[in-house]
A and B are shown apart, each in its own frame.
Chain A
Amino acid sequence: MLRVEGLTAGYGRAQVLFGIDLEVPAGAVVSVMGRNGVGKTTLLNTVMGVLPATGGRVLFDGADITRRGTHARVRGRIGYVPQGHGTFPQLTVEENLLVAWEATGRRDPGGVAAALGVFPRLRELLKRRAGFLSGGQQQQLAIARALVTDPRLLVLDEPTEGIQPSIVAEIEEAITTLHQNRGLTVLLVEQYLDIALRLADAFTVIDRGSVVRQGGRAELRDGEIQRLLAI
């Protein structure tokens, strides 16, 4: 479904990605692993067009989307949850969801209700301003916001970072349910190895902007990822 070919990107003269190849087949959950500062977030940002690619291609369903704007990719049904439980702090929970839904150009309230079905906890908070939610609630809202546009591919950047364990479990369960029941394809950056191992069926380990190991759960020997991620 998503195919990344020889992707390079960076900030000014500082190149961060040195030719990344990545394949996310339809229905798969692929986890990008790596130590801090190796370019995981940069990779996702480049895939989503937040950061322009300096070389290589990003293909979605065979179409080259490398030069498309971020909003066009989202409307093309790629959902993105950037790092750090991003919400619009001054908008209410409802407005946070509504604004994403309205951006798709549709008028009926279907998407918002569907997203709330995934995180029912948000229903009681609809009129609260997002900035006053706890970190975990904000992250649930951030994921719900990405789900509002009915994505076929969901891109998640460290969805469990800095969040209390009970909500981590809820988020993990939500991702699993979406994957199994709706066949949602997921591309994920996850720091916690145990969570990544439970969720993902394929892994890409990157180091210093290059892919060092790629494979399915079976292909990676026990402890190999641990060794690659060891500091």
Chain B
Amino acid sequence: MHALLGQLPVGLSIGAVLLLVALGLNFTFGQMGVVNMAHGEFLMAGAYTAFVLQAWFGAQSVLVGLPVAFVVVGLMGLALERGLIRHFYGRPLDTLLLTWGVSLILQQVARDVFGAPNVDVAAPGWLAGGVDAAGVRLHYSRLFILALAVLCVLAVGWYLARSRTGRQMRAVTQNRQLAACSGIDTARVDQITFFIGSGVAGVAGVALTLIGPIGPTLGSTYIVDAFLVVVVGGLGQLRGAVLAAAVLGLLNAYAEFWSDASLAKVVVFAVIIAFLQVRPQGLFVLRSRALT
């Protein structure tokens, strides 16, 4: 019984990672509908930002890296949107190929700059160790990721619901043409959306350095999971993404507990496929009164 209960924090911790990597996609894919295959490489760029900062800040590079990676990776996303993606709006297949190409380029750049082998980013001393609960050891680093995920969700939720640009973002998502007719500079909103979405991916990347070593292919490990969370949660739905990440994380933990890691993956994918058969629109959908 204790062992069963012990899987709960493990699952939530996996869910927190899933949520963090998916949160940025909630902007670029969820709000704007852009399939950005380079999102995984933005995670990787965030992770390497922390790695680079290590030269100056040592073990505190993770903490310093969170805001720095947000800006650095955010600017990368902005450059991608301005330079390439905006010329392909309304052409999802072309965007998919394009961003996949960008993702390969970024991987190779990382290989050339940082080398192919994985590298370590030292965690701050105060994140070493953990607490024992219900027979399972909870690492402080995992708890830190959980707290970071909660913080990020609250920040993003506040931003979308309350801030001026967040409101404009939702307006553009719901009716782009009407947004322009209301005086909103939609191109500027697109830029801000992409900056924030990519920046959040950078933050998630820094968090990933706490889980294990990082390498040029870090992104490809998480890209599928990130898209799954957004699709299962419902496009652009923050609470959907939170719920989906938690459920998928728990499912993963328990399936792994009863079988093994690879079988757990199979179980998770099977459940997702079955779920999307029943509810292709995801957990949450935008509802409104149908207009005649």
Contact = CB atoms under 8 A, between A and B. Distances in A.
Interface string A94-127: 0100111011100000000000000000000000
A100 B174 CA distance: 14
Contacts of B289: 89, 131-133
Interface residues of A, number: 37
A131 B289 CA distance: 5
B278 interface: no
B170 interface: yes
B182 A69 contact: no
A70 interface: yes
A6 B286 CA distance: 43
B168 to A, nearest CB: 6
A31 to B, nearest CB: 20
A129 B174 CA distance: 13
Category for how many chain B residues contact A: 20 to 34
Interface in A75-97: 75, 80-82, 84-91, 95
A91 B291 CA distance: 16
Contacts of B177: 50, 82, 86
Contact of A88 (B164, B174, B183, B187): B174
Contacts of A81: 181
A48 B174 contact: no
A71 B182 CA distance: 7
A8 interface: no
B87 interface: no
B287 interface: yes
B181 A91 contact: no
Contacts of A72: 185
B186 interface: yes
A86 B178 contact: yes
Contacts of B186: 71
Contacts of A135: 291-292
B175 interface: yes
B180 interface: yes
A26 B185 CA distance: 27
A102 B167 contact: yes
Contact of B183 (A95, A131, A133, A149): A149
Contact of A89 (B167, B180, B182, B288): B288
Contacts of A132: 288-289
A145 interface: yes
A215 interface: no
B174, B183, B291, B292 — most chain A CB neighbours (10 Å): B183
Contacts of B184: 71, 99-100, 103
A69, A71, A98, A104 — most chain B CB neighbours (10 Å): A71
Given A90-B170, A99-B168, A102-B164, A74 B291 contact: no
Given A71-B186, A131-B287, A135-B292, A80 B181 contact: yes
B175, B180, B181, B186 — most chain A CB neighbours (10 Å): B181
A73 to B, nearest CB: 9
Contacts of B122: none
A42 to B, nearest CB: 14
A71 B183 CA distance: 4
B178 to A, nearest CB: 4
A18 B112 CA distance: 57
Contacts of B183: 71, 74-75, 100, 103-104, 149
Contacts of A50: 177, 180-181
A37 interface: no
A55 interface: no
B168 A102 contact: yes
Contacts of B175: 86-89
Interface in B274-292: 286-289, 291-292
Which 7 pairs from chain A and chain B are nearest by CB? A131-B288, A89-B288, A74-B183, A103-B183, A70-B180, A100-B182, A86-B178
Given A69-B187, A84-B291, A149-B183, 11 more contacts: A50-B180, A69-B180, A70-B181, A71-B184, A72-B185, A82-B177, A85-B291, A89-B174, A90-B174, A91-B174, A103-B183
Interface of B: 164, 167-168, 170-171, 174-175, 177-187, 286-289, 291-292
11 contacts: A48-B181, A50-B180, A74-B182, A74-B183, A85-B291, A91-B167, A91-B171, A102-B164, A129-B288, A135-B292, A149-B182
